[in-house]
Chain A
Amino acid sequence: MPDGRRGRGGRRGGGEARDARGSCVAAAAGAEEVAACAGGRGHSVLVSSHVKVKAGGPRRDPHLHPGLEVRLLRRQTKTTLEVSLLEKYPCSQFIIAVGNNAVAFLSAFVMNSGVWEEVGCAKLWNEWCRTTDTLHMSPSEAHCVFYHLKSTPSVILCQCSCYVAEDQQYQWLDKVFGSCPRKNMQVTVLTCRHVTDYKTSESTGSLPSPFLKALKTQNFRDPVCCSLLEQPNIVHDLPAAVLSHCQVWRLPAVLYLCYTDVMKLDLLTAAAFQPVLASRSLKGLAKNIPQSTEILKRLMTLNEVQSNIYT
């Protein structure tokens, strides 16, 4: 059991279920803000599941949308994985990129060096997904894809470009991490957040965005590549869930959060993750930096939407 204190600020009564393994899972019912664990001894892991209630739109009915659950599919056969991904493919380094800028960074800098093989994908649907048909979702629409390096299968990468809703996070963690996570696995999470969410006494105009901040679990001993995230800032969504899980299960994990003023796919924001390449988990994975910068530029232009607003 973690030795941290647990704070809970729920505005409406939400259920808090403890599953058999003793880890805390807050069920998000309606709009509820849940402030979660503070780990002991200065390693504050402040996470929050902030529910955004979208007006109108399709409701998640488990009968109509079997995508309520998170389905983890094996590659090639595309059948559902019976065990969790990390039980099937044990690894020593697990790197997760959440959000389009982090995904672009890993695609350009890490995935172009070496041969990466897809080992599985997570298919899920929620109100924020663009497609409505989950049964016939093509592999390119499966937003959470897992890869391992062919030469070193002990490194697994996850490219998550979709939004994993609060009530799907537990399932996602369960299907990916499983019930008995390996102790010698190190987790690195990369994600972005808008700079207006960064709470500081300085004026936001003077902040050098994009900039990196790190948040680590108690068991993470390696040096971090940037300054730590100061209080009262909190982490949200899937990265928060992953970090909480790692803190509870005493896994060494670090989150690198890039605060940026451009939330869409942007060259400067994706390139702001470069200091992370010096960390132990990513060292040696990125081989060709100049070529990677070119690939990043190309990714940006590919995704640029034709706009006639400015001439």
Chain B
Amino acid sequence: MASRYDRAITVFSPDGHLFQVEYAQEAVKKGSTAVGIRGTNIVVLGVEKKSVAKLQDERTVRKICALDDHVCMAFAGLTADARVVINRARVECQSHKLTVEDSVTVEYITRFIATLKQKYTQSNGRRPFGISALIVGFDDDGIPRLYQTDPSGTYHAWKANAIGRSAKTVREFLEKNYTEDAISDDSDAIKLAIRALLEVVQSGGKNIELAIIRRNQPLKMFNAKEIELQVTEIEKEKEEAEKKKPKKAV
């Protein structure tokens, strides 16, 4: 029975489950969707904007955060846990730079975050972090990277992935539509990210936030107008594709 083995993080159940870690993964599903795409010369992060209260300052509700000039991450899950993880990662980025005089690689900082998360699955009295993160960036060698971490402390490299509320739907869309052609061009990779989000986001472009990193360039956040532009283009392309479809004989 699950109830006897989920009270303390350090307890395995007889069939080998760590229930607290699995419950933490459920907490991730309560956050809004985030999608990451690794293009040839660009990495894209798109998130579903959480609806803010009328009196809330929108700028303080951010799902995409820069960890360093060349690395950024999007998360899904518990906001407060994300803040703690992001702070630690940022400090680690600078500490690394000061110690070895090189910026962190994307893989290094991902491994750092994953190790941090794993530590919290093996200490008593502490619960796991309830967030999954998509970490994107370019290394010094100019290769784009996308990694995903989850509450258990595992991390993997992906070509494209989604986390959060409707991650399964978005991932299925990406599996169908992610082709080498689709991501060869920067604008195509951006459009793919937006199209993936539009599958699950209600009320279209105004609930989407987008960030990109191009090789040797800093993080760029898209403003609402630019996103609207992209959405309009996507809708136009959709209409044209519909028109081109051969009409069935009545």
Contact = CB atoms under 8 A, between A and B. Distances in A.
Interface string B42-85: 00000000100100000001010000000000011111101000
Contact of B78 (A203, A205, A306, A309): A309
Contact of A203 (B1, B30, B63): B1
A306 B75 CA distance: 20
Contacts of B82: 311
A309 B53 contact: no
B79 A309 contact: yes
A203 B15 CA distance: 16
Contact of B79 (A203, A205, A306, A311): A311
Interface residues of A, number: 7
Contacts of A310: 27, 30-32, 77-79
B2 A308 contact: no
Nearest to B165: A310
Interface in B104-154: none
Nearest to B30: A310
Most-contacted residue by chain A among B30, B63, B75 (CB, 10 A): B30
Contact of A311 (B1, B2, B32): B32
Contacts of A308: 61, 79
Contact of B61 (A203, A205, A309, A311): A311
Contact of B53 (A203, A205, A306, A311): A306
A299 B78 CA distance: 26
A62 B76 CA distance: 52
A205 B53 CA distance: 35
Interface residues of B, number: 17
Interface in A266-311: 306, 308-311
Most-contacted residue by chain B among A203, A308, A310, A311 (CB, 10 A): A311
B79 to A, nearest CB: 4
Contacts of A309: 30, 78-80
Nearest to B76: A311
Contacts of A203: 1
Interface string B155-169: 000000000000000
Interface string A203-238: 101000000000000000000000000000000000
A203 B77 CA distance: 28
A205 B27 CA distance: 18
Contacts of A311: 31-32, 50, 61, 63, 75-79, 82
Nearest to A196: B3
A203 B2 CA distance: 9
A85 B167 CA distance: 52
Interface in A221-272: none
Contacts of A205: 2
Nearest to B54: A306
A18 B75 CA distance: 63
Contacts of B77: 310-311
A204 to B, nearest CB: 8
Interface in A103-157: none
A310 B2 CA distance: 24
A309 B82 CA distance: 11
Nearest to B82: A311
A215 to B, nearest CB: 27
B30 to A, nearest CB: 4
B27 to A, nearest CB: 7
Top 7 nearest A-B pairs (CB, nearest first) are A310-B30, A311-B79, A310-B31, A306-B53, A311-B50, A311-B31, A311-B63
Interface of A: 203, 205, 306, 308-311
5 contacts: A306-B53, A309-B80, A310-B30, A311-B61, A311-B76
Given A310-B32, A311-B63, A311-B82, 9 more contacts: A205-B2, A308-B79, A309-B79, A309-B80, A310-B30, A310-B79, A311-B31, A311-B32, A311-B50
